[in-house]
Amino acid sequence: MNLSQTQTPATASAATLDAIAFAVGQSTIGTILAARSPIGVCAILIGDDAEALEQDIADRFPGRMIIADETALRDDLAAILRFIETPGAGLDLPLDMGHGTPFQQRVWQVLRAIRPGATITYTALARRLGMPNGARAVATACAANAIALGIPCHRVLRADGSLSGYRWGLERKRALLDREAAI
């Protein structure tokens, strides 16, 4: 991570509205990085390596002050970890989706309305948005989603019902859908 952008909790008091606080935790599906702007959770990243996730958050929000702050994100991270294990509990966190385009935000809003245990195809999602030929655009919006789980792109399937691209890995997508199907 670019150390000039990373701040420690000791310097957090100097943070401005351009600051993003983050914390990293471990789950059964991998390492989780939760990040929050003053508006709400702006990223939930999933991976295998905390350093790679920290670099990812810095790359996603260039010019923003990125602050490691486990205390500030304790409750958010606990809610995310609880959701992974018991998706029926839901994940009710305020989200900051302002980093997406207007179209991406529309896709993400529709995705947030899909309940745990349910799925939708890219084509059906595009039709809901009034774009019957927009499956690829919907897939691109899903790929741009930085708020895994909070914006449940893992619930989107191919037209034939099979799994397809998930930026956090198909194994994780399957694990999440299997857990949700059990509720």
CATH no. for residue 85? 3.30.160.70
The region that residue 56 occupies, defined by phi over 0 for left and psi between -120 and 50 for alpha, beta otherwise, is alpha
* Residues 107 and 64 grouped into a single domain: no
- Return d(Cα 183, Cα 181) in angstroms, integer: 6
DSSP at 21: E
* Residues 77 and 119 grouped into a single domain: no
Question: Does the structure show a pLDDT above 50 at 177?
Answer: yes
Per annotation, catalytic residue among 35, 151, 153, 157:
153
Residue 1 counted as domain residue: no
Element (H, E) at 112: helix 102-112
Q: Identify the pLDDT of residue 13.
A: 41
Residue 131 counted as domain residue: yes
* Residues 80 and 31 grouped into a single domain: yes
* Residues 84 and 13 grouped into a single domain: yes
Element (H, E) at 42: strand 41-47
Residue 82 counted as domain residue: yes
Banded pLDDT at 166 (limits 50, 70, 90): confident
Greatest pairwise CA separation for the chain in angstroms: 52
* Residues 30 and 75 grouped into a single domain: yes
Residue with tokens 């019902």: 161
The residue segments making up the domain with residue 77 are 6-89
* Residues 85 and 117 grouped into a single domain: no
- Return d(Cα 3, Cα 150) in angstroms, integer: 28
CA-angle at 30, arms to 173 and 146, nearest 5°:
65
Give tens-digit pLDDT for 57-91: 999 999 999 999 999 999 999 999 999 999 988 89
CATH no. for residue 168? 1.10.10.10
Q: How many separate domains does the chain show?
A: 2
Residue with tokens 């895994």: 148
- Return d(Cα 173, Cα 57) in angstroms, integer: 21
Residue 67, beta-bridge partner list? 7, 21
The model's pTM is: 0.88
- Return d(Cα 31, Cα 50) in angstroms, integer: 6
* Residues 85 and 110 grouped into a single domain: no
* Residues 122 and 80 grouped into a single domain: no
Give tens-digit pLDDT for 2-45: 433 444 444 444 345 689 999 999 999 999 999 999 999 999 99
**40 near 89, Cβ under 8 Å?**
no
Give tens-digit pLDDT for 46-63: 999 999 999 999 999 999
- Identify how many contiguous H helices and E strands the chain contains and give both numbers: 6, 7
Give tens-digit pLDDT for 110-160: 999 999 999 999 999 999 999 999 999 999 999 999 999 999 999 999 988
Instruction: For helices 170-181 and 70-85, give the axis angle rounded to 10 degrees.
Output: 60
153 is a catalytic site residue: yes
